[in-house]
Amino acid sequence: MRPREFDEDEVLRIAFDRFWRKGVRGTSLAEIARDAGLQRGSLYNAYGGKEALFLLAYERYANTYLDTLRDVLGTGTLRERLAAFFDATITNFRSGSPPRGCPTTRGLMELAPGNGEGLGEHARRAFADLLARITALVEEALAEGQRRGEFAGTPRTAALHIVTVTRGLAVLERAFGDETELRGIAAHTIDLVLGERDR
């Protein structure tokens, strides 16, 4: 196999930024190639199509995002860890100007029913894998907090609840764009899971 004649990291960065902003359906390989200073044929030859390029770019994003979440869930009290988790989550989909939203939620909305145009089963599995890995990280933080006496519930159930709230936050962000409200919901969720702190 011939080595790539372009900087793959840069192509994946450019591609994912476009996919994040415009969705997979709203992005063409020609646009990505133009932004990367390449011929469209170079991308077809390297990746075989738009969804394959998206999946590679999404995997790169997912690994970076998971590293961020590992960091924020790794230190402090459980309440501080959960607050940092929600902060990283909200900051992620409020990034960009205008804010780009949540790439996973956007991608899930582009899954194709049957054989329609849109993302397919490989993409659905990639989205599900990222959500499962995020849930596992939150569950691990809750289990550790439980061992330290900071949490009395069931870590798995609470982790699923927290990750479900993040999906709702992603939708509310797209609908209203009110960051203060998003952060208020996050704080309320932490209180529901851990109990309200003494005032």
- Return the domain boundaries, the chain: 57-194
CA dihedral 100, 25, 168, 67 (to 10 degrees): -60
Q: Where are the alpha helices (DSSP H) in 50-154?
A: 50-72, 78-93, 103-109, 121-147
Q: How far apart are CA 90 and CA 182, in angstroms?
A: 8
CA dihedral 168, 83, 94, 43 (to 10 degrees): -90
Q: What is the CATH number of domain 57-194?
A: 1.10.357.10
Q: What are phi and psi of 27, to 5 degrees?
A: -120, 140
Query: What would the pLDDT profile of 56-101 be if each residue is shown by its tens digit?
Result: 999 999 999 999 999 999 999 999 999 999 999 999 999 987 888 9
Using 50, 70 and 90 to split pLDDT, how confident is the model at 116?
low
Cβ–Cβ < 8 Å for 123, 52: no
CA dihedral 119, 9, 105, 145 (to 10 degrees): 130
Query: What would the pLDDT profile of 143-178 be if each residue is shown by its tens digit?
Result: 999 999 999 999 999 999 999 999 999 999 999 999
Q: How far apart are CA 63 and CA 12, in angstroms?
A: 13
